[in-house]
């Protein structure tokens, strides 16, 4: 797994297997107010799925996910001054609330148009990048809270495993993970199945690969099945959406992730 170090002018130093100096990087971002990309080559050659939808995402999808975001943020109740990373930050709706609460926020997403939208709604202290979450450009144990909301189900099994290892690695042992994603059930009669129908519509519309990843994620038990293999402990959990969405607050165990 490659991680790069950047010099004071934000230029990548070739041949170095190290990490970004977070404070220096944040200073550079504040001064330049820029979004820089470290996208894997495969992602760069893919057609950008949010190119024409990013600027209207909040209008159409925001209201649908508002209840999920509200329930998730109520579970963690962050204290001002925390350093928070969101993996799959999208247009920055969660980060906006967390920043307003007095926290230092970092966000990554593979979609440049989505990151640009997030950059517009956050103030200049936010650190945003187009990055691969399986190769996070941060040193170990630097965040008080790491969030992955409705993003893990989109990944194939190999990428999902890499992302979980990385978010555990960058979270402090005193910190927490907030994972929110679709749940295989059981679903409540009527409401649960109505919600499931809406979810299926959006997941199918996202394309065959996305839909297959979604189905494999649920078949493996969703978040409940996923976290069993990693050094984390469940602190709080909640099932909402008629049994379709799981929210987990996890504590990090001291053992390193291999």
Q: Crossing angle, helix 208-219 and helix 191-205, to 10 degrees?
A: 140
Its pTM stands at: 0.79
Residue 153 parent element (H or E): none
Q: What is the pLDDT of residue 225?
A: 95
Whether residue 110 contacts residue 130, with contact meaning beta carbons closer than 8 Å, is answered with yes
Domains annotated for the chain, with CATH where assigned, are 34-252 (3.40.50.150)
Counting as low any pLDDT under 70, the low residues of the chain are: 1-58, 254-258
What integer pLDDT is reported at residue 179 of this predicted model? 98
Q: Quote the pLDDT of residue 78.
A: 84
Residues contacting residue 79 through CB under 8 Å, at least 6 positions apart: none
What is the spatial distance between Cα 241 and Cα 68, in angstroms, rounded to a whole number?
A: 8
Phi, psi of 223, deg, nearest 5: -65, -35
């Amino acid at each position: 797994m490659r991680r790069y170090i950047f010099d004071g002018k934000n230029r990548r130093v070739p041949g170095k297997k190290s990490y970004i100096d977070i404070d220096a990087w944040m200073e550079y971002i504040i001064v330049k107010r820029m979004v820089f990309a470290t996208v894997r080559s495969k992602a760069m050659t893919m057609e950008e799925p949010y190119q024409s939808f990013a600027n209207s995402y909040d209008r159409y999808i925001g209201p649908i996910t508002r209840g999920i975001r509200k329930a998730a943020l109520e579970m963690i109740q962050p204290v001002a001054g925390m350093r928070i990373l969101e993996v799959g930050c999208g247009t920055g709706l969660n980060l906006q609330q967390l920043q307003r609460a007095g926290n230092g926020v970092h966000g990554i997403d593979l979609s440049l148009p989505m990151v640009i939208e997030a950059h517009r709604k956050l103030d200049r202290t936010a650190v945003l990048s187009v990055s691969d979450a399986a190769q996070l450009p941060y040193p170990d144990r630097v965040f008080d809270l790491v969030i992955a909301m409705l993003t893990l189900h989109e990944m194939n099994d190999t990428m999902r495993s890499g992302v979980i290892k990385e978010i555990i690695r960058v979270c402090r042992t005193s910190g927490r993970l907030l994972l929110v994603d679709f749940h295989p059930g059981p679903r409540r009669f009527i409401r649960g199945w109505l919600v499931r129908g809406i979810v299926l519509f959006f997941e199918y519309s996202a394309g065959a690969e996305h839909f297959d990843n979604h189905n494999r994620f649920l078949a493996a038990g969703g978040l409940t099945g996923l976290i069993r293999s990693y050094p984390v402990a469940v602190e709080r959990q909640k099932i909402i959406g008629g049994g379709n969405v799981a929210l987990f607050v996890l504590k990090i165990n001291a053992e390193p992730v291999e």
